[in-house]
Chain A
Amino acid sequence: MVDGGLPAHLDGFVRAVREAGIPVGISAAVDAAQVLTVVDLLDREQLRHGLAAVLLQRAAQRQTYDVLFDLWWPLSDRPAVPAEVDEDAPAPEDGIPDADRQAALAAELRAELLRRLLDGDEEALRRFARMAVDQLGQGQPSPSGQSFFSYRVLRALSPDTLVSQLLDGLLGGADRGGLAEQVARQTVRERLAAFRAAVEAEVRRRSAAERGRDRVARTAVKPLADQVDFLRAQSADLAELRRSVAPLARRLAARLSAKRRLGREGRLDFRKTVRASLATGGVPVVTHHKPRAVHKPELVVLCDISGSVAGFSHFTLMLTQALREHFSGVRAFAFVDSTDEVTRFFSPGADVADAVQRIGREAEVVTFDGHSDYGNAFGVFAEKWATAVGPKTSLLVLGDGRTNYRQPGLPVLADLVRRSRSAYWLNPEPARLWGSGDSAADKYGQVIPMIEVRNAAQLAEFVTTL
């Protein structure tokens, strides 16, 4: 442990968790200290779960937390680990082994890895990963000390090329193809991912010992899923984001419908009130009211689906889809340089990814060159669906407002906004870029409230203020 003992160490850990974007209040920090007095400090997993229980508030924070925990309470604090390393593993060499020996070692470890993966014992796999990093992960020793790289381990062992052998092993002679193979593939994917994660965790641990954990912590911690920029999201992030958007849409729908139901009560229901008063000796203690006739809110979504905002529009279309399941009055329009109604693709129960593909194929959103043309798109919308926006309609425009230096179509949009009950523009670009280059966002911002929605967290914020 570091100077200052356990409390100082815990304090450092709490601060690192805070820096990673997880809000930890003072009371949570106090609770964390209390946890240390209650759990068995020699059991690392107890400590991990115990601190998580007081420091975290959302499931999405767990991954970040685990990375930091491994750095702050590393395994090496337990002297038992080196002794547990496999007996049949070759003894570590002094310095860097020459190429032949390295290759032989890699082949041997590869066979070992195959056995472990087939076996599926996670703890054994983690132990093996630690050993593999030790044997294969060393880079050139530099004056600053020994460094370790996960790519060296993964290249030497190339676990991905083991898939076919693993499948054979798991299927146990059964035929390829069909259900059994798909299920086995999933198992293989999970185990390979677990191995890769174990290797990376071990490399992080060793680097932290070498270079100081603060530096490692800064680079190793990935942003939380709802902080990932829509426009820069990668495919792995996308899947994660999709999961977070689904409950968001449900939440929005729940809010809107709750407002509708809990609105002011209607006129007195005389008959019901008198009837209920019989129970209290003719005194009308509780009045009953007729339910108010509710106006169904209408929502018109106008969504830019050009390539530049593809990631963003995908989510907004998901939101549209979820709203469709709760409200009948939702109409969706998509545009690139022309506009088409896409409501029909979002029938309840339809798959969103599917719908997006079909929109690309079937909807008439491109007439010229496939670059955004907001002026023409708004024009076509106002002309062909003149009645879509009325005094009961909320209008939601989604896009980055990059017009490719074409006409922005401001008067048309201003007219649409005036005719609607409320209107918002959600822009996935950072606010400081609005108006730069071909962006007309600042001009649009003068006729319609423009809101920066760069990530799921901001989308959630918008949804809750609506």
Chain B
Amino acid sequence: MPPQQPALFADVADVTARLSAAGYLPDAQIATTVFLADRLGKPLLVEGPAGVGKTELAKALATATSSELIRLQCYEGLDEARALYEWNYKKQLLRIQASQNSADGGDWGDLHDDVFGEEFLLSRPLLTAIRRTEPTVLLIDETDKADVEVEGLLLEVLSDFQVTIPEIGTIVATRRPMVVLTSNATRELSEALKRRCLYLALDYPSAEREREIVLSRVPELAPALAEQLVRTVRALRAMELKKSPSISETLDWAQTLLALGLDTLGSDEVRQTLGVVLKHASDQTRAAAELRLN
């Protein structure tokens, strides 16, 4: 069983307030789900298109709860040795050779215990997160990029917050880390993994929330221009593009307008700066045609 520990947040409003203070504006769905993840002690699986603020949420959580962020970036071919722990075999080998060369030869039993001790254990993100006694946010980023086998590995860690190392024994978390998994949904994660997590589907924000995000991140931008910008981005998202503009690209666009000293977003300005939000040539052509830029 995961250890009992005091809750991080008092209620949903508290989540909203503290995440906002950390520079992340959550909507009701995000705030409620984060609150539940804390209260129920379950990992939080955040799924959504690229650039809607999945990773950003984990970072803001770490800031809001003054925890340390430990990040496991998933990729194809990620294995136990990179995710959980590894024996430092080079050091082990040197240790063995050193004992062979010494005069007394050394006792094998002592040597064995010595070689499989703390000193030779290389802790990887999952084990590090579990062994920490300070508040921790464990971010497992882009879980869908990892192979299916890694999910099996995550199951033990995420349901019981423990890791079994054959030579040492089972290490149980003294303090349960707050776990955030992100996924771009390029593949369906296994049922077993999803069952252990709370599910949060992030999508592009509502017009109102996006405007607030833009204004909080780029405070120098005039509110009227932010409004115009957000509505233009929404018009772009309504098209069938290869890659819809993400929140981070909206922010980039806001920064661009600011840097160029533009105070309105007309056809000319959009045509000049479209490359900031659309990064496929075919998308740009299509957007230019549908927005009647020419």
Contacts and interface: CB of A to CB of B under 8 A. Distances in A.
Contacts of B266: 179-180
Nearest to B267: A179
A54 B185 contact: no
A45 B28 contact: yes
A256 interface: no
Interface stretch (B123-131, B135-143, B230-238): B230-238
A223 B280 CA distance: 33
Nearest to B34: A53
Given A251-B187, A281-B94, A182 B290 contact: yes
B interface, over-half SS = helix
B242 to A, nearest CB: 8
B32 A179 contact: no
Contacts of A189: 238
Interface string B256-294: 000000000011001000000000111000100011110
A122 B93 CA distance: 67
B281 to A, nearest CB: 6
A186 B238 contact: yes
B7 to A, nearest CB: 10
Contacts of A39: 12, 32, 35-36
Contacts, number: 131
Interface string A24-43: 01011001001100111001
Interface string A341-385: 000000001110100000000000000000000000000000000
Contacts of A25: 191, 195
Contacts of A196: none
A53 B39 contact: no
Interface in A276-300: 279-281, 283, 285
Interface in A41-63: 43, 45-46, 49-50, 52-54, 56-59, 62
Contact of A31 (B40, B187, B267): B40
Contacts of B291: 179, 182-183
B12 A43 contact: yes
Contacts of B12: 39-40, 43, 46
A53 B292 contact: no
B51 interface: no
Most chain A Cβ neighbours within 10 Å, of B47, B201, B267: B201
B76 interface: yes
A9 interface: no
Interface in B74-116: 76-77, 89-90, 93-94, 97
B33 interface: yes
Contacts of A190: 207, 234
Contact of A59 (B195, B203, B206): B203
Contact of B200 (A34, A53, A251, A261): A53
B292 A57 contact: no
A91 interface: no
Given A53-B199, A59-B48, A247 B185 contact: yes
B198 interface: yes
B292 A285 contact: no
Most chain A Cβ neighbours within 10 Å, of B36, B47, B267, B282: B36
A45 B35 CA distance: 13
Contact of B292 (A178, A239, A261): A178
A254 interface: yes
Contacts of A250: 186
B177 to A, nearest CB: 19
Interface string B17-41: 0000000000011001101110110
Given A34-B40, A179-B270, 11 more contacts: A49-B28, A53-B36, A54-B199, A59-B47, A59-B185, A177-B292, A179-B266, A182-B290, A186-B235, A280-B90, A281-B94
3 closest residue pairs by CB, A with B: A59-B201, A186-B235, A49-B32
Interface of A: 25, 27-28, 31, 34-35, 38-40, 43, 45-46, 49-50, 52-54, 56-59, 62, 120, 122, 177-187, 189-190, 239, 242, 247, 250-251, 254, 258, 261-262, 279-281, 283, 285, 349-351, 353, 460
10 contacts: A28-B195, A39-B35, A46-B28, A50-B32, A58-B185, A179-B292, A182-B291, A186-B234, A251-B186, A351-B286
